[in-house]
Structure 1
Amino acid sequence: MAREGARPSYDPAGHDSALRAALQELRAGRWMSMRGLLDDTAQWWQWTQRTQVLAAAAAGSDVVRAWLAEEPSSVPATVMHGRVAVERALRAHREGHRRAHELWIEAWDASRTAADRAPADPVPWVCLLSLAQLDRQLLWDEHRVAAPEPTLPPGPWGLLAEADRRDPYNREAHHRMVQFLYTRAASERLAEATGYAHRVAGAAPQGSPLHLLPLYVRAERYRRGGGRDAALDLHWVAEDASREARRALVTWFESSVPEQRSPQDLNHLAHALWGALSFPDAARVFDAIGPYYTPVPWAYRAPDGGRAMEVFLQARTRSRAASHDPE
C-alpha cells in the first residue's frame, strides 16, 4: 500500500501487473502477450475486466485485426474483435463522427459473431448491451423488451439476462444497463437508474462490486446537477448518501478479495466516504487505492473538471489526517 504522499497516476490496469505488461506490448503493436494473458484468464469477472481494458487500448490500432487475421479460428481473438468494434462505435457516437451509425452496425455484427463462437462467454452479450445506449429511439426490438419490474422502463433486458445467465451479477453488464437508463433520463434526477441500482445492490451477494452501483448513480446525478467546487456539500453528507457509502464499505470493501477490486470502484468508494465525512474509513480505502487513482469521480468536484488529481490529493490528505495517520 502506498502511504506516502506521492502524486498518483491513472493506470487502467491498476494492481493487475500481468494486464499492465500485456498493455505495454499491445501499445507497441504486438498481440502475443495479449493472447497469452487471455489464455491464462480463467474467471469471468477477470475476463470481462481484462477484455474491456485491452479493447480500450486497442481501439486506435489494428493490432486485434492482425491477431484475428493470423489466427482466424481463435475464439479470444473473435471476442476481442467484438470488444474493439464496440469501443470504436461508442467513441464515434460521443464524437458525432460521420461513420457512427456504420460503426454501430459493424460492432453489432462482430458481437453477434462472438456470441455464436463463444456461447458460454458473457462478454459478447455485454457488448450488445453496451450498444443499446446508442438506440435513443428504441428502434430495435431487443432494446424495448418489457422490464422485470413495473417500475422500470422497457429496455435491453433480454441482453442483460443473457449476460447474467452466463455470469450472474456480472459487474460490467449491470453498469451498462445503468448507462442505458441514463440515456432515457432527461434530468439530473435519474429516478429509474437510482431505483435499479438499489435493487441490484440489494440482491448482489456479499463482496460483489455491484454494492457500489448506487454510488455511481449518485455521482452521475451530482454531475448532471452542475456539480460544485471541491468543498463538501449536502449532496454527499445527506443521510441516504452516508448510508450508501457505509453499506458499500461493509458489503464490498470489507467482504471482497483485494485482487478483485477495480481502481474505479475503489475511487468511487473513497470519494463517497470522504464526502460523507467518514474520514477514517476513507483513509483505509485510499490506502487500498495506492498509486492508481481514476479521474472520475474526482473531476466532478473540480470547478472545471481539470483538477481531478488535486481534489483526490486534498481528499486523501484530509482523510489520513483525520484518522491520526499523517502522510
Structure 2
Amino acid sequence: MTGSHEFHPVYHPAGFDDALRVAVEEVRTGRWVAMRDLLARTGTDWALRTTRTQVLGVVAAGTTTVEAWSEEERDNLDARVMWARVLVQRARRAHRKRYVGAHDLEIVARQACLIAAEAGPADPVPWVCLLALAQLDEHQQRAEHRVKPWEHMLPPGPWGLLRQVWDRDQYPREAFHHMFEFLNSCTTGAAALASAVDFGRWVASWAPFGSALLALPLYAYTESYRQQLDAVRRRGREDPLLRRQWAEDPARGDALKAYHHWFAVTTDADPLRRSVADLSHLAFSLWAAHQYVEAAPVFETLGPHAALQPWVHVTDDPHRPELAEAAFVRARSQCLSAAGTSI
C-alpha cells in the first residue's frame, strides 16, 4: 500500500503523451528534429495535432528553437504553424504582463496565423491561434470579435473564428476553452463571468457522450470560486460557507454529468486523448462536492500526473505551489480511502 506521504505528483506539460514529452525536452535544449518528426507522424489527427502544437508552442516560446527550424526548413508547413503558436504565446504573455510593445507582438502573431492558415487550408490550428489572440482585444475593437453568437442568450464574440475551427475539427477542446476565456475577460462588468458560466453550461448541454467539452462548466465554476475567494481575502476575513456551493447544484450536477457522460464512458480511451487539466478539474469538483467514491477512479486515472489548478484555490496562499500539491495529495488520499483503493 502506498501512503499519501509517499506519493509525489509529476508535473509535465506533455501529460500522458510520452512521445510529446521527448519532443518537449528536445525543444528545451534547442533541438527541433524530434518536434518536426512528431508533428509529421501526427498528420491530420487534428485533435492530437492541436494539443501537441499547443504544448510545444508554450515550451518553445521561451527558446529560439522554432526560429532555427524555420530558418533551416523555410517551406515546412508544420514549422509555419509552430511559428504562429510561438508568436501567439509570446503576445499573450506580453499582454498579460502589460509589456511595452505587446500590441506590436499581437499584430505580428496575427499575421503569422493568417500565413499558416493560407499555407494549410484544412488545418484548424491557425484558427485556434487566432481565437487565442482574441482575448487580447479587451474592448472588442476588431469586427471579427463582435460576431453574432450561435446561441441568442450569449453575447457577441469571435464566433466566426470558432466556426472556422469547427468546420475543420468538430468539438475542438482548445477552441472552446479560448471562447470561454474571451467571454470571461472581454465581456463587461458583472455579466462577464455569468456569460462564461452560461457558455460552459450551454456547451455541455449538447456536447456528445465522451466529449471532454462536458468538463468545460467545471472551469467556469472554478473561475467563479476564485473570484469569490479573492473578494473574501480582500475583505480580510474567511467565509466558511463559500465552499458549500460545490456540493450543491448546478456545480455538483455538472460535475457528476462530466463524470458519467465523459469520464466513465471513456475509461478505456487512448491516454493521449485525456487532458491532465480536465481530469484535475473533475477530481477537484467531485472531491469538493463530497463525491469521494466517484473521484477515486479519476485520481487513479491521473496516476502520478497532477496539475496545480484548481487546487491552488483551496490553500491559504495561491502563489505557493507546495500548498496546492499538499491539498491535491490529501484529497487523493481521502478519496482513495473512501473507495477502498490504494495506488
Structure 2 counterpart of 1:193, one-letter code:
A
Question: Which of 249, 252, 263 is the aligned partner of 2:276?
Answer: 263
| 5+ long unaligned stretches in structure 2 | 233-237
Match of 1:247 in 2: 257
2:179 is matched with which residue?
A: 177
**Corresponding residue number in structure 1 for 2:245:** 235
2:130 equivalent in structure 1: 128
Task: Quote the residue 1:159 is aligned against.
Answer: 161
Matched residues in 2 for 1:316 and 1:276: separation? Answer: 14
**Partners of 1:308 and 1:72 in 2: CA distance:** 43
Deviation (angstroms), 1:205: 1.7
* Within-5 A mapping of 1:105-116: 105-116=107-118
RMSD over equivalenced CA pairs, Å: 1.9
1:8 aligns with 2:9: yes
**Percent of pairs with identical residues:** 44
Query: Which runs of 5 or more structure 1 residues have no equivalent in the other structure?
Result: none
Aligned mates of 1:68, 1:88 — CA distance in 2: 17
CA-to-partner distance for each residue in 1:191-227, whole Å, 9 max, x for gaps?
1111111111121121110000000100011011126
Q: Tell me which moved more, 279-288 or 193-202.
A: 193-202
1:88 to 2:90 alignment: yes
The count of corresponding residues between Structure 1 and Structure 2 is 326
Q: Alpha-carbon deviation of 1:187?
A: 3.7
Moved more, 198-207 or 181-190: 181-190
Describe the superposition over 1:55-92 as per-residue Cα deviations: whole angstroms up to 9, x where unpaired. Answer: 00000111101111111110000000000000000000
Aligned to 1:323: 339
Residue of 139, 144, 147 corresponding to 2:146: 144
77-86 vs 239-248, greater mean Cα deviation:
239-248
1:244-270 Cα offsets, whole Å, 9 max, x none, are 111001111112214111100110110
Secondary structure in 2 matching 1:36: helix
TM-score when normalising by structure 2: 0.91
Q: Which amino acid aligns with 1:207?
A: G
- 2:235 corresponds in structure 1 to none
Deviation of the 1:142 alpha carbon: 0.7
In structure 1, give the amino acid aligned to 2:244.
Answer: L
Q: Does the Cα contact within 8 Å between 2:183 and 2:192 map onto a contact in 1?
A: no
Is the counterpart of residue 25 in structure 1 residue 35 in structure 2? no
Q: 2:329 aligns with which of 295, 309, 313?
A: 313
Shift of the alpha carbon at 1:188? 8.4
- Matched-pair contact (CA < 8 Å) for 2:27–2:65: yes
Offset at residue 320 of structure 1 (A): 1.1
Deviation at 1:325, TM superposition (A): 2.4
Residue 290 of structure 2 corresponds to residue 288 of structure 1: no
Q: CA-to-partner distance for each residue in 1:73-116, whole Å, 9 max, x for gaps?
A: 10000000000000000000111111210110011000111110
SS in 2 for 1:252: helix
In the TM superposition, residue 186 of structure 1 has moved relative to its aligned partner by 3.0
Deviation, 1:28, is 0.7
Q: Contact conserved, 1:211 with 1:248, CA < 8 A, in 2?
A: yes
